[in-house]
Amino acid sequence: MPRAEHPISRDDVSENALKVLYRLSNAGYEAYLVGGCVRDILLGKHPKDFDVTTNATPEQIKGLFRNCRLIGRRFRLAHIVYGREVIEVATFRGHHQEESEEDNEQESNLSKQSDHGQLLRDNVFGSIEEDAQRRDFTINAMYYNIADFSITDFAGGMAAIKAKEIALIGDPALRYREDPVRMLRAVRFAVKLNMRISDKSAKPILELAPLLANIPAARLFEEILKLLLSGQGLETFRLLCQYHLFEPLFPLLAPMLKDQQSREVRFVEQVLINTDNRINTGQRVTPAFIFAAFLWYPLEERVQQLMVEGGLTHFDAFNLAMNDVLQKQIQRIMIPKRFTIPIREIWQLQTRMSKRFGRRAYQMLEHPKFRAAYDFLLVRSEVEGGQLLELAEWWTEFQEADEDARKTMLLTLRNTESGAGAPSRNRRYRGKKKV
């Protein structure tokens, strides 16, 4: 499509991306914008980032840019860094040789596949036509040429946009086996772009969903953030469940979600509704809150199991259960320590928020994670009701009250619950003999 037949203008492209494109082009290399940025501009959206592809090798790219760093082993990429903006540049991918034709040490260093067909290494370079065939979805195989401002649509991406359809290039089962994360990407694009996954591309997902267990846990963490912190987390969650993709991601929670009316489903969905609202109104969110919510009921279940089977106190069982649940989840999704610490704090505060006597209530308010724990309690109370609802209402009132009102609330609480866990200092020693 020549420039006159498509809406993309250089005004839609970031200044830094244009610098990269022109430097590659002026050095005699082919240079194209490709993938999501081309797709989003055609859809009238503003791209969050710009990806470039070229026939220059990673080493040749690095030779042109002092601000370049090469990353990745599975996919060798060049990152051109301009302050906070990073322009990702990839060399055209080529087709893999059949193992029987070429099985030498040099080839194994360039490409490698697992027994399931998953690509473990993919540094085979080729032409732009081969690169287009190696792309995942038809809507991501459109190339904007900086040399003449034309768009080349290799796989019917424009037709897919008009049909509002997410379709894989090539045989879907084979492409999913090459990279099982493509199943998650299909869901993410379907929700993000308000499209549907084509029947042909959807059919193999139910069978191949377990292959996500082969993906490195660190990579899945980044994918989960894209899925659930997009401002469309609820719809994404429901589509993941529909295609049984949620099970390999959260194996502890998934069995609890079979009943759509269960408290677990209602709790997860309410957390996602609240998260979507915060994201879409420009408020901050933390992945720790999402993970704390998704693992809360598995944590409760493990606590009860340890208390019954091991005869442990609730305190000891709770501390052991936190370790068990997080350790099992981290085997699937590598949650960084900067998030596991606040997850633990949110959980611990849930057990302490009912202990409001004396200075404890004031100490709770001063805790750095009190607000997150309070929001967590509000959702729990909305779903479970009962005493949790009364507890949440008490904390809501206590936060908004002045100092005199707070003292009155604590005094009233002590008087009404003194026989149920709030003994006075004198009563603590009642019945003890002096030695």
Residues annotated as catalytic are 49, 51, 136
158 burial (CB, 10 Å; 0-12 / 13-18 / 19+) is middle
Helix H, strand E, coil C: the string for the chain is CCHHHCCCCHHHCCHHHHHHHHHHHHCCCCEEEECHHHHHHHCCCCCCCCEEEECCCHHHHHHHCCCEEEECCCCCEEEEEECCEEEEEEECECCCCCCCCCCCHHHHHHEEECCCCCEEEECCECCHHHHHHHCCEHHHCEEEECCCCCEEECCCHHHHHHHCEECECCCHHHHHHHCCHHHHHHHHHHHHCCCEECHHHHCCHHHHHHHHHHCCHHHHHHHHHHHHCCCCHHHHHHHHHHCCCHHHHCCCCHHHHCCCCCHHHHHHHHHHHHHHHHHHCCCCCCHHHHHHHHCHHHHHHHHHHHHHHHCCCHHHHHHHHHHHHHHHHHCCCCCCHHHHHHHHHHHHHHHHCCCCCCCHHHHHHHCCCHHHHHHHHHHHHHHHCCHHHHHHHHHHHHHHCCHHHHHHHHHHHHHHHCCCCCCCHHHHCCCCCCC
**Alpha carbon distance, N-terminus to C-terminus of the chain:** 95
Cα gap 63→22, rounded to integer Å: 15
- The CA angle 288-289-291, to the nearest 5 degrees, is 65
